[in-house]
Structure 1
Amino acid sequence: MLNESPFKGKTGLQRIWNAFHYSMAGLRAAFAGEQAFRQEALLAAVLIPLAFWLPVSGIGRAAMIASVLLVLIVELLNSAIEAVVDRVSLDRHHLSKRAKDIGSAAVLLSLLDVAVVWACVLIG
């Protein structure tokens, strides 16, 4: 493979260990550099314990927590898209705008998903 990363050579437990450390570095970078991620992490810090406190079924609780975690996942992906677009060029370009707008739309839909899932579980 001519264009493959030289970091792809690790296998087995070493690969898992490295992946864990890269993932933790990504979470730290998102928390340090992304205001939206910090806000959504705060939302998760409130809503996830609340889901355990509310008298709902186990499936309902799982859906509520999963919807909140989905927001964090989508925000991480959106932040990664934005970082790559900015790395490629800071020039204004319609494709850069489209990529960033689509990532933002994904975050919005994930936030709406939280509202819908929580309403469905709580209202019945």
Structure 2
Amino acid sequence: MGLNDNSHQTKKNRRFTQSLFHALEGLRWTFQDETNFKRHLVIAAIVILVGFLFQVSKLDWLWLIVVIFLVLIAELWNTAVEYIVDLLVQKHYDPLAKKIKDVSAAIVLVAALLAVVVGLIIFAPHLIKLF
């Protein structure tokens, strides 16, 4: 994207490095502003650690990685939707804006529930052996 006199980008990215920079900036903003994103990262780290401890199979790793990234993607999507809705309603309550935000949050909830189900399927046999 080109830069105007105020150093704010207003045009399309022309180089991959510009796109990468903006994507990393988006991750930084999300990590900085969204507590739930941090929680998901901590849970992901715990799941990865437990996966190593239980020496799960390659197929199990595939499923774990897929659901971890699915939850993170859902949280990023939810954050983007919240920013857009907040921009549009400018701190005024709107029932439709609430519905949009609630549905967006539900996306994260469904992704997290899927992750829990996959985690239980993978880790329950290992946990049962421990007890």
The alignment's TM-score, normalised by the length of structure 1, stands at 0.84
Cα separation, 1, equivalents of 2:13 and 2:32:
30
Deviation readout 1:16-51 (Å, 9 max, x if unpaired):
211111111011000111111111111112212322
Q: Which runs of 4+ in 1 moved over 4 A?
A: none
Which secondary structure state, in structure 1, belongs to the residue aligned with residue 101 of structure 2? helix
| 8 Å Cα contact 1:51/1:65 also seen in 2 | no
Equivalenced residue count is 116
Cα separation, 1, equivalents of 2:23 and 2:32:
14
Cα separation, 2, equivalents of 1:9 and 1:36:
30
Alpha-carbon offset, residue 61 of structure 1: 1.0
Instruction: Give the corresponding residue for 1:38.
Output: 38
Instruction: Give the corresponding residue for 2:100.
Output: 99
Gaps of 5+ in 2: 1-8, 126-131
Kindly indicate whether residue 11 of structure 2 is the aligned counterpart of residue 7 of structure 1. Answer: yes
Following superposition of structure 1 onto structure 2, how do residues 1-124 of structure 1 map, counting pairs within 5 Å? 6-8=10-12, 10=14, 14=15, 16-89=16-89, 90-123=91-124
CA RMSD of aligned residues (A): 1.8
Which secondary structure state, in structure 2, belongs to the residue aligned with residue 8 of structure 1? coil
User: Structure 2 counterpart of 1:55, which letter?
Assistant: Q
| 8 Å Cα contact 2:78/2:105 also seen in 1 | yes
Higher helix share: 1
Gaps of 5+ in 1: none
User: Structure 1 counterpart of 2:12, which letter?
Assistant: K
- More deviation, 80-89/54-63: 54-63
| 8 Å Cα contact 1:48/1:68 also seen in 2 | no
